[in-house]
């Protein structure tokens, strides 16, 4: 069924026949649109065997193919490029067999294999922001890609529901909250908890401001000896430092030190200890406030259209991994230092020494990740495990995967960090302390409002009910947002400009949706005609062939997107297909065509395109609309 493979086979045979040597790795490319042909074979690497000029070699292979390969109708040679023209019957046959295939786009790349995609993994002390949006959209879409490629998929969310940051919100609420609840304030739960996180940070800043000034000028006397030692060291460096960057960093260090010595932070740390000790009052407050956050997250998730098969909570998993540390010690993978702390030496692998367990026997971040990796495997026996986490954790995952490998875990090779770039604002990085974060809920609402305004302005939605209209605005707004984010290569950092907002024209989600809606309009006007059962026209126009060729590529694009974990591949493809179809739409009037075979063929092509656009958009988590 795959043309490319068949053609490669033919070329390999041609080379062997002509030059008496087996061809190694024959590669094909799609012919540059400026030249005639479907596929291009570059002959330069063959010159050593053919002992001839590029032109003559290409000519010889071309002739051989034309005689022996049934699918090749013609060829032309430009320098060392052999452009092969395939018979148009092939495209007509493809259209005939696939135009109404509801499974088109589903592949078997991963059939029989199971993969876990862990994404979202929020902290429960504040609402989601633009950075989380990229994470969530990527995770959801990558899970869709794996499903489309035939994998069984488990979508997991590892919720960071414990720790010092949550205690900050809790403490601030306790001190300043006056018993506020989501019900009493009408605030979404995650926003209410986030509000108290900000309250905490503000109170902390107020408390520490005078001390920080003292400390920076060298006049601070910390209460604890430990802090005194650190302070003396940093302040000493500060006095020596000349470089501006270094000075700023040392000042930040001092700031951090002062903050950690503040009474507010000490109270927070005490609260964390109380939580770990299971003091009922603290546990109750923790449960209550996390409950608020979860109900808020649920709404955001639902609106974004993301979902999970399994939730893990760090309050349950944070103690995992200690027994694995023991195992690692016995295997000699880890070693213990005099103070009792446990380490792994990764210097031979180009990394560093890494702590895996504190001297007092408590876990660090990586300890629980080691344990959780085992837990995931025990529960699901996945062949692959994808972690959708920002690229600031590249090093962490490098270390984690290496440790799992050294521990001899069979699943270690299937672990993959989908490391995505940060989302920048025109002002630079988002910083919660400076209040420059873009809130996820606000962002979605703005997009939907914008979609509504644009739709009303164009005035093409007469006859739709109120409910249908709201669904339309929701779909268009989210489509613009999702497409904007997903069309960029996940690995790269990207820029988001809220001022200019997101366009609805050009390379956008609504553009692809529009193409789909147009086709639906045509198909509606063809209702009542029997266009489905007639023959396919084999005398296709160039633009028709081009559209079919684009459709033909789709399953390969799905596989590529899946193996690259890159929804951007699908987004770019959707633009390509939509643009190609729109050109066809412009050149060929479907319903006005008088020849019934030609007309019906075009209807099938339109139907096929609509199916594929819908499939692609769905992979991106975008819903299609029938009218817009």
Partner RNA sequence: GACCUCGUAGCUCAGCUGGAUAGAGCAACUGCCUUCUAAGCAGUAGGUCACAGGUUCGAAUCCUGUCGGGGUCGCCA
Binding mask 608-627 for RNA (x = CB under 7 A): ------------------xx
Helices 244-261, 225-240: axis angle to 10 degrees equals: 170
When binding is defined by CB under 7 A, the residue of 186, 278, 506, 528 that contacts RNA is 506
Residues 606, 619: Cα–Cα separation, whole Å: 20
- The smaller minimum CB distance to RNA, of residues 219 and 492, is found at 492
Let me know if 507 is exposed, middle or buried by CB neighbors in 10 A (0-12, 13-18, 19+): middle
Task: Say whether residue 498 binds RNA (CB under 7 A).
Answer: no
Is-contact 105 142, C-beta < 8 A? no
Q: Which two tokens stand for residue 166?
A: 């949550």
* Pairing, β 39-42 against β 28-30: antiparallel
Residue list 166-225, contact with RNA (CB under 7 A)? none
> Counting contacts by CB under 7 A, is residue 247 touching RNA?
no
Provide the minimum distance between the beta carbon of 475 and RNA in the complex, in angstroms, as a whole number.
10
Q: Which residues of 451-462 are buried (b: 16+ CB within 10 A; e: fewer)?
A: bbebbeeeeeee
- Cα separation, 73 vs 349, in Å, equals 54
**Site for RNA (CB under 7 A): which residue of 590, 598, 610, 619?**
590
Q: Which of 422, 438, 464, 541 binds RNA (CB under 7 A)?
A: 422
Smallest separation (angstroms) from RNA to the CB of 45: 5
DSSP line for 499-523:
TT---SSSSSHHHHHHHHHHHHHHH
Q: How far is the CB of 381 from RNA (least distance, A)?
A: 26
CB nearer to RNA: give 31 or 290: 31
DSSP characters over 158-203: EEB--SHHHHHHHHHHHHH-TT--HHHH---HHHHHHHHHHHHHHH
Among 487, 604, 611, 614, the residue binding RNA under the rule CB under 7 A is 487
The reply on whether position 447 binds RNA by CB under 7 A is no
- Residues in region 347-406 near RNA by CB under 7 A: 352, 355, 358-360, 363-365, 391-396
Helix (H, G, I), strand (E, B) or coil at 75: strand
Chain residues 269-308 in contact with RNA, contact rule CB under 7 A: none
Q: Which is nearer to RNA, 152 or 593 (CB)?
A: 593
Instruction: Closer to RNA by CB, 280 or 347: give it.
Output: 347
- DSSP H helices, 244-351, are 244-261, 263-277, 280-304, 314-317, 322-331
Location of structure tokens 């292979």: 61
- x/- map, 119-158, RNA, by CB under 7 A: ----x-----------------------------------
Shortest CB 401 distance to RNA, Å: 14
* Minimal distance, residue 35 CB to RNA, in Å: 4
Phi, psi dihedral angles at 527 (to 5 degrees): -60, 140
Question: In the window 554-573, what residues touch RNA (CB under 7 A)?
Answer: 568-569, 572
Interaction residues for RNA, span 26-45 (CB under 7 A):
29, 31-32, 34-35, 37, 40, 42, 44-45
Which of 503, 577, 586 shows the shortest CA–CA distance to 541?
Answer: 586
Helix (H) or strand (E) holding 118: strand 114-118
**Residue 311 interacting with RNA (CB under 7 A):** no
Indicate the residue among 51 and 381 with the shorter CB distance to RNA.
51
Minimal distance in Å, beta carbon 228 to RNA? 17
């Amino acid at each position: 069924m795959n043309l490319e493979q068949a053609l490669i086979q033919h070329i390999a045979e041609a080379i062997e026949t002509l030059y008496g040597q087996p061809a190694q790795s024959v590669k094909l490319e799609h012919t540059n649109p400026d030249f005639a042909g479907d596929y291009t074979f570059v002959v330069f690497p063959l010159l050593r065997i053919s002992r001839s000029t590029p032109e003559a070699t290409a000519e010889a292979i071309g002739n051989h193919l034309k005689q022996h390969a049934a699918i090749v109708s013609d060829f032309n040679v430009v320098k060392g490029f052999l452009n092969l023209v395939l018979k148009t019957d092939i495209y007509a046959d493809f259209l005939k067999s696939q135009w109404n295939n509801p499974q088109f786009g589903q592949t078997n790349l991963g059939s029989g294999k199971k993969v876990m995609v862990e994404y979202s993994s929020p902290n429960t002390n504040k609402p989601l922001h633009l950075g989380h949006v990229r994470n969530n959209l990527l995770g959801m879409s990558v899970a869709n890609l794996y499903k489309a490629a035939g994998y069984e998929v488990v979508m997991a969310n590892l919720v960071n529901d414990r720790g010092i940051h949550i205690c900050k919100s809790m403490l601030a609420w306790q001190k300043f909250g006056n018993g506020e609840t989501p019900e009493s304030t009408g605030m979404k739960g995650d926003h209410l908890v986030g509000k108290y996180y900000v309250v905490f940070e503000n109170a902390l800043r107020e408390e520490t401001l005078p001390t920080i000034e003292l400390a920076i000028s060298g006049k601070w006397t910390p209460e604890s000896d430990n802090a005194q030692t650190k302070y003396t060291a940093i302040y000493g460096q500060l006095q020596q430092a000349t470089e501006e960057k270094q000075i700023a960093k040392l000042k930040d260090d001092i700031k951090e030190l002062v903050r950690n010595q503040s009474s507010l932070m000490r109270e927070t740390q005490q609260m964390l200890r109380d939580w770990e000790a299971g003091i009922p009052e603290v546990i109750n407050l923790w449960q209550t406030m996390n409950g608020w956050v979860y109900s808020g997250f649920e709404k955001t998730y639902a609106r974004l259209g993301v979902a999970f098969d399994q939730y893990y909570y760090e309050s349950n998993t944070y103690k995992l991994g200690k027994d694995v540390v023991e195992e690692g010690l016995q295997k000699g993978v880890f070693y213990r230092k005099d103070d009792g702390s446990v380490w792994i030496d990764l210097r031979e692998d180009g990394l560093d020494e890494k702590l895996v367990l504190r001297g007092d026997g408590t876990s660090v971040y990586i300890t629980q990740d080691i344990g959780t990796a085992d837990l995931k495997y025990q529960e699901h026996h996945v062949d692959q495990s994808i972690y959708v986490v920002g690229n600031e954790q590249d090093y962490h995952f490098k270390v984690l995967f290496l440790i799992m490998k050294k521990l001899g875990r069979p699943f270690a090779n299937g672990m993959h960090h989908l490391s995505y770039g940060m989302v920048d604002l025109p002002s630079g990085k988002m910083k919660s302390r400076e209040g420059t974060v873009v809130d996820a809920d606000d962002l979605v609402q703005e997009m939907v409002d914008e979609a509504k305004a644009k739709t009303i302005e164009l005035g093409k939605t007469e006859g739709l009910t109120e409910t249908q209209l709201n669904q339309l605005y929701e779909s268009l707004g989210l489509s613009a947002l999702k497409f904007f984010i997903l069309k960029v290569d996940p690995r790269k950092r990207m820029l988001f400009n809220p001022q200019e907002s997101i366009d609805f024209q050009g390379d956008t989600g609504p553009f692809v949706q529009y193409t789909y809606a147009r086709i639906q309009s045509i198909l509606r006007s063809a209702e009542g005609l029997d266009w489905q059962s007639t023959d396919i026209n084999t005398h296709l126009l160039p633009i028709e062939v081009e559209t079919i060729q684009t459709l033909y590529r789709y399953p390969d694009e799905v596989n590529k997107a899946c193996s690259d974990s890159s929804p951007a591949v699908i987004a770019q493809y959707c633009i390509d297909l939509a643009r190609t179809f729109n050109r066809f739409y412009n050149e060929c009037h479907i319903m006005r065509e008088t020849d019934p075979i030609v007309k019906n063929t075009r209807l099938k092509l339109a139907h096929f395109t609509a199916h594929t656009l819908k499939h692609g958009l769905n992979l991106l988590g975008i819903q299609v609309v029938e009218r817009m």
